[in-house]
Amino acid sequence: MKQLLLVDDNAKYSRLLREYFQPLGYAIDEAVTAEEGFNTFLSHSGDHYSVIVTDITMESQLAGLFMLYKIRKKGFHGTVVVASTGFDFPGVVNLSRLILRLCGVHFLVRKTTVLKKEPEFWPMRFFSSSQNKFQEI
């Protein structure tokens, strides 16, 4: 079974994301803060998780990105998905993809699509369209 670390301080989104990823064959560890997520990551070997799904704004505005930075420094090479409400505005997705790409993120998921139980995974590659099915990189 593949391992996934889910970090989100909102129980509703966390539940919906868990319900999406579990049928895909992922065993999921959860954390509610970036600090807890980083400590959970550290409690396993660097290749334990194949996917990390995180919010950005938790205990601070950029806590999720800072956590990802620290996890990358510890040698994580799996797939990174950012699920966030801050990117749900028209036109913001493309600009955000540029910024998140520089942070080592592979996919952006707008939480409005998570609420509909139809998540759209936006790859960080320029000019690529969203995917309705998740695939690890």
What tens digit of pLDDT does each residue of 58-88 get?
877 778 889 999 999 998 999 999 887 666 6
Domains of the chain (ranges; CATH) run 2-123 (3.40.50.2300)
Residue 67, C-beta contacts closer than 8 angstroms, at least 6 positions apart: 7, 34, 35, 37, 38, 54
Q: Report residue 33: phi and psi, to 5°.
A: -135, 160
For residue 95, what pLDDT band results from cuts at 50, 70 and 90? Answer: confident
Please give the pLDDT value at position 88.
61
For residue 33, what pLDDT band results from cuts at 50, 70 and 90? Answer: very high
Alpha-carbon distance of 30 to 8, in angstroms, equals 8
Q: What is the pTM of this model?
A: 0.91
SS3 115: helix
pLDDT at 44 over 80: yes
